[in-house]
Structure 1
Amino acid sequence: MRIAIVDDETIYSDCLKKILLDFSNKYGRNFEIFTYESGEDFVDTLETKEYSFVFMDIYMKKINGIEAATTMRSKGHNSILVFLTTSTEFMPQAFSCHAFEYITKPFDAERVEKVLKDALKVIPEESVYITLNVSGMDIKILLEDIYSVLSDAHYLDFHTKNGKVLRCRMTGKQFLNLIDNDERFLAINRGIIVNMDKISEIKEGTIAMEGGDVYPVQIKNSSKIIQAIQDYNFAKIRKRQKRGNIS
């Protein structure tokens, strides 16, 4: 996931870069971060680079942040745009550029993390990964490649893409904490967690997954579980609509 930081004050761009790197390590995000000290330098990259996020300072010499963002939008870039500012004076113009949010300087990690988490809800999740210790080896795996997670005593069996199963000493609660309770994953029965993006069919008290695995749904909570899956799928549609409206 490419992120651009556009700010002519390196004290802020360096601080923001550190916060982003800490966030990526904490939550298993693949962030490729580019820093630019002027709006001109950033605009010059738009012919060859696409960014998932752009953190844009408003007050810059020559091309200011509003002008740089307007140019970015005119070139068809749908990046999540977050303005950095010492004042709310330009907020009407900022949001005319379809800004997602703004962060007031000086900022702290808590504020940046809040904006990141909100923004990540409306963009694809394919770059999220976790690290599992399997037979003494650390293995990185994308969350999108995990189809289901089954509990077996003190271990979890991760059923993944292409039918591969990875076994790791971990509890279901530890897994959910590790992925920061990623909304794709739902416990459908005792010791069974599924990736809702990989469900192929719901039928007669069971859930069939892509790849052929079929799991029973907990009877007493079946209505709530089915409703949760329907709500998730509806939310996915809304996300795609929001994503399309950014441009």
Structure 2
Amino acid sequence: MRIAICDDMPDQLEKIYELVSEYVQANHINADIKTFSHPDNLLRYCESENAQLYVLDIVMPMMSGVQLGQEIRNLDRESQIIYVTTAPEFALDSFSVHPLNYLLKPIQKDKLFDTLSLAITKIKADEVSLTIKTKNGLHTISIASVIYCEYVKHAVKYVLASGEIIETTTIKGSFSDYISSLLADKRFIQPHSAFVINMSRVQRLTRDGFTMCSGAFVPISGKLFTQVKNNYLNFRLKDEVTI
């Protein structure tokens, strides 16, 4: 599990890191915990990796935690975000990022641990795997890591968040039949006869297609545009909170 912590105050960053480390060790969780003292460094990390859990400070001089959370959400809709702060007045603003919780400093260990337990439960619920037959044998991947897949010359190419590309052997039957199990997951949609995308990995939607968080462009079939746009907007807005 990948966990990212961002706080511009070194002592606070160290304290949060110690508490999170204590939690994962006590619960025997295999976790890679990375710390960032500047939001820009975290965003550069997000361009090539995707943490499943973010613990973010709200009040930072270079970029607020809410702005940082919004940037993270542009790259990944499914990760869990926990805010920690000395400023309760920003709680309402944070709703736009759909955080799991909003904890006040000084952090109470029991409240942080309870929130981490909830985050782990939600992350595990999304850890559905997919086994792919390749020329080198069977390859199992987490479907959450799939940015998009493409049908090319009777094979399917999976592009992953890690930058890895995995290609199947020649598939039997149609592409639509082959990826039906993937499309059963609410995060995936087929905007074109040769593509399936993970909507949580979309950076931008235009009339012509989707720009993915990897920078890749995936076209939308003209006759499907209205349906695809509506499905995507419903996915993006499904957790919006109206105040």
* TM-score for the superposition, normalised by structure 1: 0.50
Deviation at 1:108, TM superposition (A): 2.8
Aligned length in residues: 135
The 5 Å alignment of 1:131-150 reads: none
Work out the CA distance in 1 between the residues paired with 2:52 and 2:239: 12
Give SS of 1:56's match: strand
Q: Is contact 2:59–2:87 with CA below 8 Å preserved after alignment?
A: no
Give the corresponding residue for 1:52. Answer: 52
CA pair 246-41 structure 1, distance change in 2 beyond 3 A:
farther
Give SS of 2:19's match: helix
Give SS of 2:35's match: strand
The 5 Å alignment of 1:1-247 reads: 1-124=1-124
Q: Is contact 1:5–1:55 with CA below 8 Å preserved after alignment?
A: yes
Q: Which runs of 5+ in 2 are unaligned?
A: 128-186, 188-199, 201-234
Give the corresponding residue for 1:159. Answer: none
CA pair 246-31 structure 1, distance change in 2 beyond 3 A:
farther
Give SS of 1:47's match: helix
Give SS of 2:102's match: strand
Give SS of 2:33's match: strand
1:93-150 CA distance string (max 9 Å, x none): 10111111111011132121011112222111799xxxxxxxxxxxxxxxxxxxxxxx
Q: Percent identity?
A: 23
Structure 1 runs, 4 residues or longer, greater than 3 Å off: 243-247
Deviation at 1:77, TM superposition (A): 4.4
Task: Name the aligned partner's letter for residue 10 of structure 2.
Answer: T
Task: Name the aligned partner's letter for residue 103 of structure 1.
Answer: L
Q: Is contact 1:50–1:77 with CA below 8 Å preserved after alignment?
A: no
* TM-score for the superposition, normalised by structure 2: 0.51
Task: Name the aligned partner's letter for residue 17 of structure 1.
Answer: Y
